[in-house]
A and B are shown apart, each in its own frame.
Chain A
Amino acid sequence: MAETANSGIGMPQLDISTFSNQIFWLVVTMVVLYYVMSRVALPRIAAVLADRRGTITSDIAAAEEYKLKAQQAEEAYNKALADARAEANRIVEAAKAEMQAELDVQIAKADAEISAKSAESERRIREIRYSEMELVTEVSKDVTNDILRVFDAKADSRSVTAAVNARLKGGA
């Protein structure tokens, strides 16, 4: 292999005669690549990435909003449910109260009727008792007058009545 090295093939990396060529093309390549990358490729990709980041951010914000809305809807639902329950309770209470009032009125009416009837009965009992008393007084007067006539005593009707009344009162 030493012969080949001497003939210049040995290690192509050390062949100085090709250096200028390689360096020239390298510089051309790097300049072209730099302009292609920095002017076309990188701004595009940066724009796409920024776009995606923006979309993701706004999507997340929208999702937050929807979540909030869902929460609000749930709250409204719960509130409606509670309202309905309260309303139902209120109606039940009202019905109960109405029935109670009705009942009270009926009871009061019944009480009034009963008391009226008992008052009537008492009045009539009293009436009956009073008429009996008058009858007794009448009879007593008549008997007294008869007795006085038998005994031929003189007495006016007024004093007899007073005496009978006093006697009846004292006896009663």
Chain B
Amino acid sequence: MASESGGLSIKPMDQFQVKALFGGDISWYTPTNVTLWMALTVVAASALMIYGARGRALVPSRAQSAAEMTYGFIYNMVKDVAGHDAVRFFPHIFTLFMFVLFANLLGLIPFAFTTTSHIAVTAVLAFTVFLSVTALGFILNGTKFLGLFWVSSAPLALRPVLALIELISYFARPISHSIRLAGAMMAGHAVAKVFAGFASALGAAFFVPVLAVTALYALELLVAVIQAYVFTILTCVYLRDALHPSH
């Protein structure tokens, strides 16, 4: 590794390291930067939804308007995508959205730690969604839930093949669901870090990578919101499948 002995020493993955806040080894209960940034996520979400909307004014302030728009946005998404009877799961989906959104956005603060860039975190979220939606499908529909895999509109000879494909894609759901979020977050931050490393290496021409990082930052802001949206809307899609398994 010649580059490492030279001036260019970029370690794009170091920002994802889990570190204990007060030193020492990391066991399951140790407060780490994960704890810190998850706590900040809760604080930020509460700040918007409770402190921002504290006025409960008839004519909302800006923060209250933002909180109400978030509420309405997710509410309509649940209602439109997953159906009217999915509205009772609205608090769960809203919690999921707020967590992912604020974890993504807070991760964009320089020197911040992005909790959603870790497979462990997103996998737990995605598998929780997957398992609860599957359980819900069987509880609500019984064996009729298996009709999800039996595409009755296809020719009979094709159905077993399709059933196999559907089954595989069904079990691939939590994997793609989790890796999409973690991968998008990880990729953006790693690329930003690489570009930032170029800035220190290029000397006088540092402004070129700085401009690139600025543009990338805007893109990452978009990605952070879109990934939160996509994570939530896919949850709604899976929920719809559980509530209405017939194609």
Question: From residue B222, how far is it (CB to closest CB) to chain A in Å?
Answer: 23
**Once the chains bind, are B13 and A10 in contact (CB under 8 Å)?**
yes
Q: Does A150 sit at the interface, judged by CB under 8 A? A: no
Q: Does A23 sit at the interface, judged by CB under 8 A? A: yes
Known: A9-B17, A34-B91. A22 touches B34 (CB 8 A): yes
Main secondary structure, interface of A, reads helix
Complex CA gap A13/B186 in Å reads 9
**Once the chains bind, are B16 and A13 in contact (CB under 8 Å)?**
yes
**Once the chains bind, are A48 and B50 in contact (CB under 8 Å)?**
no
Interface centre among A21, A27, A34 (most CB of B within 10 A): A21
Q: Does B132 sit at the interface, judged by CB under 8 A? A: no
Instruction: Report A-chain residues with C-beta under 8 Å of the C-beta of B53.
Output: 41, 44-45, 48
Q: Does B98 sit at the interface, judged by CB under 8 A? A: yes
Q: When the two chains form the complex, which single residue of A25, A34, A40, A45 contacts B32, counting CB atoms closer than 8 Å?
A: A25
Complex CA gap A37/B17 in Å reads 29
Instruction: Report A-chain residues with C-beta under 8 Å of the C-beta of B26.
Output: 17-18, 21
**Once the chains bind, are A29 and B99 in contact (CB under 8 Å)?**
yes
**Once the chains bind, are B58 and A51 in contact (CB under 8 Å)?**
yes
**Once the chains bind, are B1 and A1 in contact (CB under 8 Å)?**
yes
**Once the chains bind, are B42 and A21 in contact (CB under 8 Å)?**
no
Question: From residue B180, how far is it (CB to closest CB) to chain A in Å?
Answer: 14
Interface residues contributed by chain B, number (CB under 8 Å): 51
Interface residues contributed by chain A, number (CB under 8 Å): 43
Interface residues of B in 54-95 (CB under 8 A from A): 56-58, 60, 64, 67-68, 71-72, 90-92, 94-95
Interface centre among A14, A18, A41, A52 (most CB of B within 10 A): A41
Known: A21-B27, A40-B50, A48-B53. A13 touches B120 (CB 8 A): yes
Question: From residue B86, how far is it (CB to closest CB) to chain A in Å?
Answer: 15
**Once the chains bind, are B71 and A49 in contact (CB under 8 Å)?**
yes
- Which residue of chain B lies nearest to A29 when distances are taken between CB atoms in the complex? B38
Known: A9-B14, A9-B17, A34-B95. A25 touches B34 (CB 8 A): yes
Instruction: Report B-chain residues with C-beta under 8 Å of the C-beta of A23.
Output: 28, 120-121, 124
- Could you mark each residue 55-92 of chain A with 1 if its beta carbon is under 8 Å from any beta carbon of chain B, else 0? 10000000000000000000000000000000000000
**Once the chains bind, are A25 and B38 in contact (CB under 8 Å)?**
yes
- Could you mark each residue 27-44 of chain B with 1 if its beta carbon is under 8 Å from any beta carbon of chain A, else 0? 111101011001101100
Instruction: Report A-chain residues with C-beta under 8 Å of the C-beta of B56.
Output: 44, 47-48, 51
Known: A41-B50, A55-B58. A49 touches B124 (CB 8 A): no
**Once the chains bind, are B1 and A9 in contact (CB under 8 Å)?**
no
Q: Does A30 sit at the interface, judged by CB under 8 A? A: yes
Instruction: Report A-chain residues with C-beta under 8 Å of the C-beta of B186.
Output: 13
- Which residue of chain B lies nearest to A4 when distances are taken between CB atoms in the complex? B11
- Which residue of chain B lies nearest to A49 when distances are taken between CB atoms in the complex? B68
Q: When the two chains form the complex, which single residue of B35, B45, B57, B67 contacts A25, counting CB atoms closer than 8 Å?
A: B35
- Could you mark each residue 1-34 of chain B with 1 if its beta carbon is under 8 Å from any beta carbon of chain A, else 0? 1001000000101101110000000111110101
Known: A1-B4, A9-B14, A44-B50. A20 touches B28 (CB 8 A): yes
Q: Does B182 sit at the interface, judged by CB under 8 A? A: yes
Q: Does A152 sit at the interface, judged by CB under 8 A? A: no
Complex CA gap A49/B56 in Å reads 9
Question: From residue A157, how far is it (CB to closest CB) to chain B in Å?
Answer: 133
**Once the chains bind, are B124 and A26 in contact (CB under 8 Å)?**
yes
Complex CA gap A133/B30 in Å reads 164
Known: A21-B26, A29-B42, A33-B95. A45 touches B67 (CB 8 A): yes
Question: From residue A55, how far is it (CB to closest CB) to chain B in Å?
Answer: 6
Q: Which 7 A-B pairs have the closest CB atoms?
A: A41-B49, A38-B91, A20-B28, A29-B38, A18-B18, A12-B16, A22-B120
A-B contact pairs, 6 of them (CB 8 A): A21-B29, A22-B18, A22-B34, A30-B95, A30-B99, A49-B71
